[in-house]
Structures are given as structure tokens and as C-alpha cells.
A and B are shown apart, each in its own frame.
Chain A
Amino acid sequence: MNIMDFFRKKNSSDVAKDRLKLVLVSDRANCSPEVMEMIKNDIIKVISKYLEVDAEGLDIQITQTDIDGAKGVPALYANIPIKKLKQTSE
């Protein structure tokens, strides 16, 4: 290995692989950006009942994960920043 490799950016083949994996998951799920937006809005609506969330910072995507040894299982990944935990007024 060349010492310059340490300073180099990611291999282009790794970039290709990562891009492909993402694009294939959405191809396979047949999920359009509009549908994703609808899912996102509905998630915000539900979560907002209980928590105050940062709708702007919310990020959802369909990606792959490994579950029980099964590789590349499609998964809906949501990153939802919470602003404030609502107190249940009873």
C-alpha cells in the first residue's frame, strides 16, 4: 500500500457500491419521492402527539440492514430529532 493512500478519498468502487445499494433499495421498494414525503409527514403527525419533534431535521430513508444474520434486509430508517418531551397533563 502506498503511503499516499491514507490521504486519498474513498475508492471509487466503494462509492459506486454505496450509491448502487441505495438506488436499488428504492428501485426494489418502488417508492417514489412523493410517497416518501407522505410517509414522512404522517410520521411527524403521529410522533407530534407525544413529543415535540424537529420537523425540519427529520430524515427518513429506505436502506438496508442486517437482521438475525440475514444480510441486506430492507429497512425504513428514520432519524427524528426531539425538541422537547411533552408532559402529559393529567
Chain B
Amino acid sequence: MSEVIVVTSGKGGVGKTTTSANVGTGLAKLDKKVVLIDTDIGLRNLDVVMGLENRIVYNLVDVVEGNCRIKQALIKDKRYSNLYLLPSAQTRDKTSVTPEQMKKLTDELKEEFDYIILDCPAGIEQGFKNAIAGADRALIVTTPEVSAIRDADRIIGLLEANNMDKIDLIVNRLRMDMVKRGDMMSIDDVVDILAINLIGAVPDDEAIVISTNQGEPLVGSDTLAGKAYMNICHRVIGEEVPLMDLKAENGFFAKIASLFKKN
């Protein structure tokens, strides 16, 4: 059974695109047939995060307008032959596509793929409405900050009003050192406030910046964020994986330092 998953947040810059890229790649690693769709028309970025920016010929708007067939616009990933990207148009705007057209597109892709991941633009306007139109479930990305959580709450309300019954939360960019000293809300605090199911937490990790620089998602790698994203992928396909210990400090010197730290 195939599933259409929208990755959304309300607020910009919390990690929707990074999450889409890593969850999509991770599901492909788990031998699922996956297509990633960048629905951020005018501000496309999923292509660069995936490292596929040089291969774009046709885009989402071309498909919707019938300038090409879906197959022609799909870009095959560099590493995984069962992973594809449908890039967004850079020179158009959000009104180039309607929710009905998006629904039709995702329904067609469902016949071919196990998972269709939609990278939603920030905001709650047309772009958001397009992205959620055909979605079966949503992954809400938030960071432990008041502005991101407030926007996430608004998005959850809108999704519920649109009868989205499967909504899961990803808490991104956690800094356990700050949580420990009481200067950042914890995973439990965020879950408590938003009152939806937690599907994973991702630590603030320098490795993410490096992976974005290189255009290679780090899911499954031996980094904290890589492991956290892989765990999320396992949970997306319905496996039960315990929450990892984000406190594990990296490196030799961190371990030595922790020996001398009080408490």
C-alpha cells in the first residue's frame, strides 16, 4: 500500500527540506520505491540538498501543465535506483498549480511508488494547500523554539480541519547541553504542548551542514543526526524503534571533559 507523506512546519528554516531529503533517502535505503516532490514553487531547494541540481530538465509545473509526461520529469537519484525526485519550478509561483492538480498527480504516482514525500513550502497559503491536498499523512517538523512551536500548532489545527488523521511530530535541532541546563525546551515539553505523536527527534548536528554542502543526505551514516533520521524512517514504515539517547557526546575530548564535569 502506498502512502503520500507531506513534510510541513508552518515556519521556515526549521528543516523541512533536510527532513524530506533524509526521510526519502532513508526509505529508499529500506528498499522502498520513493519519489520526492518539491512543492516549493519559486524557491526550490530539494534538488540542491539531494545533489541533483544539474540533472533538471522538466519540473512539477511542466508535468501539471502537460508539457511533458511524469516519467520525463522524474530524476533518478545518484545512489539509489529506487529513489526519484520531481523538482519544483524556479521561475513560476505557487498559483501555477491547484490542489486538485496535486491530488491527481499524487494519485497517479501512488500506482508506481511505495512512498511519495512532499516537501511543503513555509506558510499556510496556496503552496501549503497544494502540498496537503493529496497527502495521507503528515510529518510536522519543529524546533524547540516558541516561534516554531506556535506555527506548528497552527499547522496541526489546519491539518485537523482538513481531516488529516495521521499527524506525527519531529523535533529538530535539539541541543541536549542546552536542554540539560534548562535553556531549551525538552522533547517532552514540546510533545506536551503540541499533544501529537512523536515520531522522532534529531539533534543539532554539524554533520547536517556538511552533508548539505556536499548534496548527500546523511541518513544512515554514523552520525547522531544520521542515526536519528534512520530511526524515523523505520518508524514511518511501522517498526517500533526506541528513542535514541541524544546525550551521547561525540569524540574523545568530549568524553574526557565529561569526566571532569560536575554532576
A-B complex is real: yes
Query: Residues of A with Cβ closer than 8 Å to B?
Result: 1-2, 11-14, 16-17, 19-21, 23-24, 27-28, 72
B149 within 8 A of A: yes
Report the separation of the CA atoms of residues A27 and B153 in the bound assembly, to the nearest whole angstrom. Answer: 9
Q: How far is the CA of A21 from the CA of B183 in the complex (A)?
A: 17
Partner of B183, one of A1, A13, A19, A20: A13
Docked complex: B237-263 residues within 8 A CB-CB of A: 262-263
Roughly how many angstroms separate A81 CA and B263 CA in the complex, as a whole number? 47
A-B contact pairs, 30 of them (CB 8 A): A1-B263, A11-B181, A11-B182, A11-B183, A12-B182, A12-B183, A13-B144, A13-B179, A13-B182, A13-B183, A13-B184, A13-B185, A13-B186, A16-B145, A16-B146, A16-B185, A17-B185, A19-B146, A20-B149, A20-B150, A20-B193, A21-B193, A23-B146, A23-B150, A24-B150, A24-B153, A27-B154, A28-B153, A28-B157, A72-B195
In B147-174, the 8 Å CB interface with A consists of 149-150, 153-154, 157
Residue B31 lies at the interface, judged by CB distance under 8 Å to chain A? no
B108 in contact (CB, < 8 A): no
B189 interfacial by beta-carbon distance below 8 Å: yes
Additional A-B contacts beyond A20-B149, A20-B193, A23-B146 (14; CB < 8 A) = A1-B263, A11-B181, A12-B183, A13-B144, A13-B184, A13-B185, A16-B145, A16-B185, A17-B189, A19-B146, A20-B146, A24-B193, A27-B153, A72-B195
Contacts of A17 in B (CB 8 A): 185, 189, 193
Question: Which residues of A sit under 8 angstroms from B157, Cβ to Cβ?
Answer: 28
The 5 closest A-B pairs by CB, nearest first: A11-B182, A13-B185, A12-B183, A13-B182, A20-B146
Interface size, B (range): 20 to 34
Neighbouring A residues of B183 by C-beta, 8 Å = 11-13
Q: How far is the CB of A58 from chain B (nearest CB, A)?
A: 28
Q: Which residues of B contact A (CB under 8 A)?
A: 144-146, 149-150, 153-154, 157, 179, 181-186, 189, 193, 195, 262-263
* Shortest Cβ distance from residue B189 to the other chain A in the assembled complex, whole angstroms: 5
- CB neighbours (8 Å) of A11 from chain B are 181-183
- A13-B153 contact in complex given A1-B263, A20-B146, C-beta closer than 8 Å: no
The CA of A24 and the CA of B149, in the complex, are separated in Å by 9
Nearest B-chain residue to A23, judged by Cβ: B150
Looking at the assembled complex, report how far the CB atom of B170 sits from the nearest CB atom of chain A, in whole angstroms. Answer: 18
Q: What residue of chain B has the Cβ atom nearest to residue A2's Cβ?
A: B262
Instruction: For A21, list chain B residues within 8 Å (CB).
Output: 193
A18 → B minimal CB distance (Å):
10
